[in-house]
Amino acid sequence: MKQELIERFIRYAKVNTQSDPNSHTCPSTSGQWELARMLVEELKAIGMEDVTIDDNGYVMATLPANTDKNVPVIGFLAHMDTAPEFTGANVNPQLIDSYDGGDIVLNKEQGIILSPNDFPELAHYKGHTLITTDGTTLLGADDKAGIAEIMTAMNYLIQHPEIKHGKVRVAFTPDEEIGRGPHKFDVAKFGAQFAYTVDGGPLGELEYESFNAAEAKITIKGKNVHPGTAKGKMINSIKIAMEFEQQLPAHEAPEHTEGYEGFYHLLSFQGSVEETKLHYIIRDFDREQFEARKAKMKEIAASLAQKYGNDRITLEINDQYYNMREKIEPVRHIVDIAHEAMTNLGIEPKVKPIRGGTDGSQLSYMGLPTPNLFAGGENFHGRYEYISADNMVKAAEVIVEIIKLFEQKTS
Ligand SMILES: [Zn+2]
């Protein structure tokens, strides 16, 4: 399994699939088409059935049931794109056999070193086969590791027909990193009752709680007058914007919160006397608190409107996604089965809330409850990203074990 995983992963990593938030197409970039077509061929080559690719680049395939039992159809998903914030062009993965626990020189010329002094988690990987970058790009283990693991798990099941299982659906999706992964995902066509994204971090991660998320855009109109004759006339929109920000609780910000704490995050502040625009994101695990945060913003905007005039302040709030826990709790056994699968394989499950969202947050609200499983990588979205091939094997084994457990638990 290990060699297969390494080969698949490196092949996928070399295709530049960096997504682009400014593109309006789906997938947002043509590299994702390239990888999608490659995956279609590989799915067919290993013997998957109903291999399809739709007009938006979503790849789907079926592993048919080999039992008469009425096992629920389950799905596994991974995303093809890599993060927009760091280059994904010319990824050149480096293989380190039985890592000695010391510094890893990623790039000699540029003096780029992956060191346990900066990344103490490296200690967990002594003796592992690691895959790193060459220091100039990201690696794309997020989420090409997930793709390689799903593909390898399917191949394993096809090669081992003695393992009984129900129907399994797999999907490889575009544009997760720009929040659009599920936008054009056809839940009905996928036809699974439950699914798992294989898109988490280190070994054992199991996630079924995400933020409730909204974004807020505030536009403040000022009135510019020559500063020499501005008395009683000028309205400086920058200062009103500062007043807005100051009325939010200073400690409820990303830099002061962790665990289950929510926040307001001022993403950008662009202003002149005449006009200032504020862009916030609002995050909270608790739905009531989340609503209260949005209400708080409306209150502040209303009080400033009263003070400076109604037409000076506009506030636009849009919900982005919700905590998937609400949708997963009623089908809690899908989390329990993942938990059991890991325990059976000697992996300690690490259940934690995602301080962000995943495709699963949106999919769960589209009628497909979808917790998230570890894919194994570390330091996502940058040059220090790496992954253990040994843990990729474990991720593929977890997929196989979940599939087995669903069959075993069906009478
Ligand atoms: Zn990801």
380 closest CA partner among 139, 134, 78:
139
Phi, psi of 23 (to 5 degrees): -85, 145
Same domain, 6 and 137: yes
Query: What was the pLDDT predicted at 85?
Result: 86
Same domain, 54 and 201: yes
Residue 112 near residue 137, CB atoms below 8 Å: no
**Which residue has tokens 């194994």?**
376
176 is known as an active-site residue: yes
Query: What was the pLDDT predicted at 12?
Result: 97
Same domain, 88 and 234: no
- CA 143 – ligand 1 centroid, Å: 5
Domain end point (choices 294, 321, 348): 321
Known binding residues for Zn(2+)? 79, 142, 177, 199, 381
Per-residue pLDDT of the chain (411 residues; tens, 9 = 90+): 999 999 999 999 999 999 998 999 999 999 999 999 999 999 999 999 999 999 999 999 999 999 999 999 999 999 999 998 889 999 999 999 999 999 999 999 999 999 999 999 999 999 999 999 999 999 999 999 999 999 999 999 999 999 999 999 999 999 999 888 899 999 999 999 999 999 999 999 999 999 999 999 999 999 999 999 999 999 999 999 999 999 999 999 999 999 999 999 998 999 999 999 999 999 999 999 999 999 999 999 999 999 999 999 999 999 988 999 999 999 999 999 999 999 999 999 999 898 887 889 999 999 999 999 999 999 988 999 999 999 999 999 999 999 999 999 999
Same domain, 80 and 154: yes
Domain end point (choices 263, 288, 321): 321
- CA 99 – ligand 1 centroid, Å: 25
- CA 317 – ligand 1 centroid, Å: 26
- CA 82 – ligand 1 centroid, Å: 8
**Domain boundaries, position 374:** 1-210+324-409
- Number of structural domains (the chain) is 2
Q: For residue 408, what are the CA distances in angstroms to 34, 72, 403?
A: 38, 11, 9
Same domain, 147 and 193: yes
- CA 63 – ligand 1 centroid, Å: 24
We report the CATH number of the domain holding residue 26 as: 3.40.630.10
Distance CA 353, CA 212 (A): 12
Phi, psi of 24 (to 5 degrees): -105, 5
- CA 380 – ligand 1 centroid, Å: 8
Same domain, 38 and 155: yes
Same domain, 160 and 15: yes
Same domain, 338 and 317: no
Query: What was the pLDDT predicted at 179?
Result: 85
Catalytic residue of the set 176, 207, 284, 397: 176
Same domain, 17 and 45: yes
390 is known as an active-site residue: no
0.95 exceeded by pTM: no
Same domain, 44 and 155: yes
Same domain, 102 and 232: no
By the CB criterion, residues less than 5 angstroms from ion ligand 1 are: 142-143, 199
- CA 360 – ligand 1 centroid, Å: 11
Handedness of CA 407, 408, 410, 411 (dihedral sign): positive
Same domain, 228 and 118: no
Known binding residues? 79, 142, 177, 199, 381
Distance CA 233, CA 245 (A): 23
